Amino acid sequence: MLRRLAWVALLMAVTVHAASPVDVFQFPDAQLEARYRSLIAEFRCPKCLNTNLAGSDAPIARDLRVTVHRLVTREAFSDAEVRAFLQARYGDFVLYDPPFRPGTYLLWFGPGVFVVLGLVLVGFRLAHQKAAQLSSQDQARLQAILGDETAEELDDALSDE
């Protein structure tokens, strides 16, 4: 039993170690390292749905971290040049803040359109609920059918809504 627990603990430790991305890069100065860290936090992993390069352990994310390191340290690209390079190679998906152009209008205006449509639907629903209230003739007929006491309870319940 003790041996099984030791194996489980060992497997858990190996799994935790394997799941964390660790890159060991050398930087000539702290400013380049800060730029690198800023850039890998800014780009989205092409494989992961909503994880940046800094937090992803996907192989493509590791390759992109190596590429960003190379572009920043060896090739002395500016931040804008690194963005343009990755965007040209992987498209707008790698950017959390895509450019404003006809191909991305849905990304920019879609949420607002959906909010407006939702408000319109809620308005129609509320208007329909008000129209569905009983007329005075229908209330009188209901009271005659159910009796006075039950109709009053139903009337109170309807007025609470």
Res 157 pLDDT > 70: no
Work out the average pLDDT over 18-45.
82
Is 71:77 a contact under the CB 8 Å cutoff?
A: yes
Work out the average pLDDT over 42-66.
89
- Paired residues of 95 in beta bridges: 43
Is residue 123 exposed (0-12), middle (13-18) or buried (19+ Cβ within 10 Å)? exposed
Domain boundaries, the chain: 20-99, 103-160
Residues in the chain: 161
- Assigned CATH class of 20-99: mainly alpha
Q: What is the pLDDT of residue 62?
A: 92
Which stretch of 5-9, 84-88, 106-110 has the lowest confidence by average pLDDT?
5-9
Is 4:38 a contact under the CB 8 Å cutoff?
A: no
Q: What is the pLDDT of residue 36?
A: 92
Q: What is the pLDDT of residue 159?
A: 64
Work out the average pLDDT over 13-23.
55
Work out the average pLDDT over 84-97.
88
User: How much of the chain exceeds pLDDT 70, in percent?
Assistant: 80
Is 47:58 a contact under the CB 8 Å cutoff?
A: yes
